[in-house]
Amino acid sequence: MPGTEIISTEPATGAVLWRQTSGDADKEVALARASWAAWAAHPLAYRIEALRRFANVVRQKADAFTDLLARETGKPLWEARTEVETVIAKVDISITAFSERTGQRRIDAPMNTRLALRHKPHGVLAVLGPYNFPVHLPNGHIVPALLAGNAVVFKPSEKTPASGAFLVDCFHAAGIPAGCVRLLVGGPDEGKALAGHPDIDGLLFTGSANTGIALNRQFATKPEKILALEMGGNNPIVVWDTPDLYSAAVLVVQSAFTTAGQRCTAARRLIVDEKLYEPLMVELNKLIGRLIIGEPHADPAPFMGPVIDNDSADMLTESFLALLTMGGRPIRHMERPIEGRPFLTPGVIDMTGVAEKVDVELFGPILQVFRVNSFEEAIVEANDTRYGLSASLISQNPKLYDQFWANIRAGIVNWNRPTNGASSAAPFGGVGWSGNHRPSAYYAADYCAYPVVSSESDSARASMGVGLRDA
């Protein structure tokens, strides 16, 4: 509710990092509504220049931004720095994408007329951001939305509000009108108020499948509003016909445990040829045992930090125990190395033959393993999910990759690469419970503006050749 204090703490230490009173969705939407028309009326070149100033502001503040982001999320400093660099790079990528995806075109037409294709902004767009990439992912909506001429009301996750506030401050410092980028601080109540507000023209969401499905139902009676959903995955990584099991183990670890497993593209399920299972598990176990897990600024740099908070760590620990009670065989137990803090060691569990499969996104460092005897069975196992975001094949056989690509159900299909680490210069999204067929990243321009087709002539010349009586 408006007036409630939102407090952000550092996952690694528990120290209070930031606090602010929650905002009012009505107020923020009204300010954006009053500002967007003037912003949209500016030439595209004006908005491009403003967003390039924004990139320069972030570049100038990169060290402070990186430090804040690392402290608030718990992710290692190197990873936070990469996220800030992605925010900067997003501007030029979005400018290119806007030109390619929504650029103006003139099309020849008969009878001295012409067809013009141009695009208009929707108006006021709401952006709901997640905590795992609290600046990169909402920025991937905000920059294309502003470029198209929209105003934005951005509600960051209540778990990472400081990073969201810093991002908005950078937009304002660049001279982008304060009314065109509004920050709504708050929890679920403010998120619901924003999503259901009658004066927004659309909602751009990144988060859990359950929330995305609820939003999809809510917007079902509002076809006039754009809705873009990115909702995560239960992603498979398949290891088959490969001699280099160390490299395979590295790719599995990078896929499953980067960002402490808190990526929507993280590998949740390892599907492996029965013949490779034992030697691969040896390599995987050795590699996991070498991982440094620590606070963001630790030296040497950690591979991964904590999960976002103790509630999430408790839920993940309980989930791992639930998999054990269902019949899973532990390959590597999940542990809490620091009492009272949300650090977790990676958990790996063999779920082969377990009658009841858990098709949920366990958003943390848990990897389920499934042994199969044929590649066709591996594909069936990989597709046995309601989600469809990311999938990867580790194999030296290009024919198997052709078969994998043709039959796997996912929006991102990789070969001898991790399931995560998607490029901002390509579309990003999935099918099923992973999204609603509105891929983001390079294709964000598609949902930030709508096409307007005009049939035009310099003068009104018309005649009717049929259907008239003689004069």
pLDDT tens by residue, 40-87: 999 999 999 999 999 999 999 999 999 999 999 999 999 999 999 999
Q: Which residues pair with 105 in a beta bridge?
A: 117
Phi-psi map region of 159: left, alpha, beta (phi>0 left; psi -120 to 50 alpha): alpha
**pTM check: above 0.75:** yes
Averaged pLDDT, 136-161: 98
Q: How confident is the model at residue 463 (pLDDT cuts 50, 70, 90)?
A: confident
Q: What gap in Å lies between CA 296 and CA 70, rounded to an integer?
A: 6
Q: What gap in Å lies between CA 195 and CA 204, rounded to an integer?
A: 9
Does residue 28 sit in helix, strand or coil?
helix
pLDDT at residue 329 in the model: 98
Class of domain 235-415: alpha beta
Q: How many CB atoms lie within 10 A of CB 133?
A: 25
Averaged pLDDT, 435-458: 93
Q: Nearest CA to 439 among 415, 464, 410, 417?
A: 410
pLDDT of residue 159 exceeding 90: yes
Contact 187, 6 (CB under 8 A): yes
Mean residue pLDDT across the chain:
96
Q: What percent of the chain has pLDDT over 90?
A: 93
> What does the pLDDT look like over 171-204, one tens digit per residue?
999 999 999 999 999 999 999 999 999 999 999 9
| Degrees, nearest 5: CA angle 52-53-55 | 65
Q: How many CB atoms lie within 10 A of CB 392?
A: 28
Averaged pLDDT, 141-166: 98
pLDDT at residue 1 in the model: 66
Residue type, 272: V
Q: What percent of the chain has pLDDT over 70?
A: 100
Q: How many CB atoms lie within 10 A of CB 354?
A: 16
pLDDT of residue 109 exceeding 80: no
Q: Which residues participate in catalysis according to the annotation?
A: 230, 264
Please list the residue range(s) of the chain that carry CATH number 3.40.309.10: 235-415
Averaged pLDDT, 124-131: 98
CATH 1.20.1440.230 is right for the domain spanning 5-231+435-456: no
Please list the residue range(s) of the chain that carry CATH number 3.40.605.10: 5-231+435-456
Contact 127, 144 (CB under 8 A): no
Q: What gap in Å lies between CA 56 and CA 54, rounded to an integer?
A: 5
